[in-house]
Amino acid sequence: MARNPRYDVLFEPVKIGPVTAPNRFYAVPHASGMTNAMPHMRAAFRGTKAEGGWGVVCTGYVSIDPSSDDTPLPFATLWDEDDIRAHALMTDAVHKHGALAGIELWHGGGSVMNRASRIPPMSPSGTSWMATHVNFMGNQRPRVMDAHDIRSLLQWQSEAASKARRAGFDIVYVYAGMGYLPYEFLISEWNQRTDAYGGPVRNRVRIVRELLEVTRDAVAGRCAVALRISLEELRARPSEVAASEAHEVVELLADVPDLWDVKLDSSPTDCAPSRFAAEGSHEPVIDFVKKITRQPVVGVGRFTSPDSMVGQIRRGVLDLIGAARPSIADPFLPNKINEGREQDIRECIGCNICISSWHDSVPVRCTQNPTIGEEWRRGWHPERVAPAGSSAAVLVVGAGPAGLECALTLARRGYEVTLAEATDEIGGRLRFETRLPGLATWGRVLDWRRDQLQRLPNVNLYRGNRLAAEEILELGHTHVVIATGARWARMLYSTLEIPAGNLDAGNVYTPDDVAAGTHLEDPVAVFDFDNYYMGGALAEHLAKAGHQVAYVTPAGHVSAWVIMSNEQPQVHRALANAAVTVHTLSRVTAFEPGELRLANLFTGAETRLACKSLLIVGARFANDSLYQSLVARPDALAAAGIASVTRIGDALAPGALVHAVYSGHRYARELDANPSTLSFRRDAPLRSQAITAPEGINA
């Protein structure tokens, strides 16, 4: 199909200093969990975006010196010749498809602990980030930077920029955002210096200007120089000479960089989840930049709609449409717009599982795109699958996230697929969960797969078809896939921090009961030790429906795990706004309709709450009775010509949506595959020379 003419503006080239981006699609720097220890995985991951039409593809954050060490988080380095060779794999992969490659040079300053290098960190005034997220906590405090340290920083940046040019990068960054060292000079709480680098904004911005200048000198006109800067906090601060300190900073540096990459200050706002922020949420903060500078501006906003993208260009907000999460969910988003296939875009759902993977220090994962991070190690391509390895017919039982992904991928391979759903509506757990506050966007997981399946002639979908083992034996399929989901349990939480003992009293419910429409009598207590989104979302849901709600958890925070996905601050605010009372570090010990007994997790001190309905959001177990009844009859399976019965998704091991989708996709990729190809390849750092031990140390 031809491209819709109203999207032509998105495919115009944009000059960025000495280089030119072939279009306005810009995959901004973002962490991928693939460091220099995984150079081939990283190259394939970024190269796939270039293949998909992104005109610029950037790395994640790259340390310029061992004094910027984010261990154990997965940061990259550009310290030596081996690092140059590792990054060159990525630039080659990006250039192969005609895109520009960008590198985000980074120094963490007082925001890192240098746990591995053991070099004392430094910041403008010895101030450190006193984070509440345990991943960022540490005991090492930074020292105050002196004049020598400033000269060293400029030298490190210059040397790293030179290495970046040698590695083949086209755009080289100075990173003054997200609490890192150049940003620390811009913010008065971080920067209390009395020399030429402290005090008024014109002094505080000096280090950023000098970093840009040494970068420009180092790349010698062969690379563009970009400034990535956080503006949220600065825009909130008044200035005596401009509309805000953000305006003042941009005015002072207006045409110094070749490109402005503008963003917000903290991960929960910069990468806000869809539960709490809509597409384009950055605009109120960054909309002034293009009015001041003549240089091109790139920014993000979880853009998935081409109309929204065009709006950003036409209204003079951005020159380049930046993306991290949307480029993960669909690396081929630009090509699909270019080919008139907007309906095929696999839209980001804003669940932030990708961000949690960085917190977990593992390669990036995505709920919508199960191939991400698997391009090199498993050979998975987001748009191509191997043809069917046989003429087998496959029955998939259950049309939830795992079953839908499995059926779609099998059908794309060319198998004849029957998808049987017990209820009248497909979607499994998504049917209910997308009706909870803020989770409607997660319905894209269902909508995209339903739309894709409807266009394939080799899929038969049967709704309202609850199959028993005997019926499956009679249907004549070669392979049977069980995707029947999981159920929530009425279990309590023991002092061993595991589920223990069913609570079979009256008025005890699970999320399954709420999904089924069961009425809960007030007051309601939600006891959450699942720790992900469900407990908090249900508490908010019930409160907004008019219930009197208390939230109880043995963790120290509401929905404790969602700090990994940038949701924790917003969840606390949402429950406060809904008048939900919160009881942390507490476990339920007893319940009789009318009273709930709690014990402090550490001290055992007892609390009693008025409660007539207890909703337990804790343990989940597979709905695998159909699977068990089939595998218990091997002779009947053989007689029916059934070669395999397999569980996927929650029916195998209950987890998040991302696990269900991945499970379904992996089964479909590996059906009839050569067993020797099923294990993934292990990546390793590039080494140009043998590693020798220091003198006096036994190697």
Helix residue ranges, H only, 220-286: 232-235, 245-253, 267-270, 283-286
Structure tokens at 604: 């055992």
Find the largest Cα–Cα distance for the chain.
86
User: Has residue 697 got a pLDDT over 60?
Assistant: no
Residue 692 has a pLDDT of 61
Q: What does the mean pLDDT of the chain come to?
A: 96
Tens digits of per-residue pLDDT, 605-663? 999 999 999 999 999 999 999 999 999 999 999 999 999 999 999 999 999 999 999 99
Residue 133 has a pLDDT of 81
Residue 139 has a pLDDT of 87
CA distance 37 to 25: 28
Name the active-site residue from 26, 61, 173, 180: 180
Residue 662 has a pLDDT of 98
User: Has residue 678 got a pLDDT over 90?
Assistant: no
Answer whether CATH 3.40.50.1100 is correct for domain 393-485+644-677: no
Question: Which residues, 6 or more positions from 567, have their beta carbon under 8 angstroms from its beta carbon?
Answer: 268, 273, 275, 276, 352, 533, 559
Window from 3-12, 30-39, 309-318, 670-679 with minimum mean pLDDT: 670-679
Q: Euclidean distance between the first and final Cα of the chain, in Å?
A: 62
- At residue 690 the predicted structure's pLDDT band, cuts being 50, 70 and 90, is low
Question: Which residues, 6 or more positions from 133, have their beta carbon under 8 angstroms from its beta carbon?
Answer: 563
**Helix, strand or coil, per DSSP, at residue 3:** coil
Query: Would you say 649 and 663 are in contact if contact means Cβ atoms under 8 Å apart?
Result: yes
Chain-centre distance for alpha carbon 406: 22
Tell me the one-letter amino acid at 113: M
Percent of the chain scoring above 70 in pLDDT = 98
Average pLDDT over residues 17-32: 97
Tens digits of per-residue pLDDT, 413-428? 999 999 999 999 999 9
- At residue 193 the predicted structure's pLDDT band, cuts being 50, 70 and 90, is very high
Topology of domain 489-621, CATH: FAD/NAD(P)-binding domain (3.50.50)
Q: Is the peptide bond before 523 cis (omega within 30 degrees of 0)?
A: yes
Number of Cβ within a 10 Å radius of residue 646 = 19
**Strand pairing report for 499-502 and 491-493:** antiparallel
User: Has residue 695 got a pLDDT over 80?
Assistant: no
Helical (H) or strand (E) element with 402: helix 401-413
Tens digits of per-residue pLDDT, 47-99? 999 999 999 999 999 999 999 999 999 999 999 999 999 999 999 999 999 99
CA distance 397 to 448: 19
8-state DSSP, 266: S
Cα distances (Å, whole numbers) of residue 371 to 40, 405, 452, 537? 15, 12, 17, 29
Tell me the one-letter amino acid at 331: P
Cα–Cα nearest to 403, from 392, 419, 390:
419
Average pLDDT over residues 576-597: 96
Residue 99 has a pLDDT of 98
Question: Which residues, 6 or more positions from 588, have their beta carbon under 8 angstroms from its beta carbon?
Answer: 492, 493, 503, 525, 527, 552, 596, 597, 598, 614, 616
Residue 653 has a pLDDT of 98
User: Has residue 687 got a pLDDT over 90?
Assistant: no
User: Has residue 284 got a pLDDT over 90?
Assistant: yes
Tens digits of per-residue pLDDT, 368-427? 999 999 999 999 999 999 999 999 999 999 999 999 999 999 999 999 999 999 999 999
- At residue 156 the predicted structure's pLDDT band, cuts being 50, 70 and 90, is very high
Rounded to the nearest 10 degrees, how much is the dihedral formed by the CA atoms of 587, 590, 595, 601? -20
Q: Beta partners for 551?
A: 526, 582
- At residue 699 the predicted structure's pLDDT band, cuts being 50, 70 and 90, is very low
Tens digits of per-residue pLDDT, 481-519? 999 999 999 999 999 999 998 998 889 999 999 999 999
Tens digits of per-residue pLDDT, 219-271? 999 999 999 999 999 999 999 999 999 999 999 999 999 999 999 998 889 99
User: Has residue 693 got a pLDDT over 70?
Assistant: no
Structure tokens at 184: 């620390």
Architecture of domain 5-359: Alpha-Beta Barrel (3.20)
Cα–Cα nearest to 439, from 569, 277, 275, 302:
275
Residue 679 has a pLDDT of 82
Q: Beta partners for 123?
A: 144
Number of Cβ within a 10 Å radius of residue 195 = 12
Tens digits of per-residue pLDDT, 30-40? 999 999 999 99
Please, is 102 exposed, middle or buried when counting C-beta atoms within 10 Å of its C-beta (0-12, 13-18, 19+)? buried
CA distance 150 to 313: 38
CA distance 122 to 137: 16
User: Has residue 696 got a pLDDT over 60?
Assistant: no
**173 an active-site residue?**
no
Tens digits of per-residue pLDDT, 315-348? 999 999 999 999 999 999 999 999 999 999 999 9
- Domain residue extents for the chain: 5-359, 393-485+644-677, 489-621
Helical (H) or strand (E) element with 397: strand 393-397
Cα–Cα nearest to 332, from 300, 364, 301, 368:
368
* DSSP line for 545-561: TT--EEEE-SSSSTTGG
Average pLDDT over residues 175-195: 97
Query: Would you say 132 and 62 are in contact if contact means Cβ atoms under 8 Å apart?
Result: no
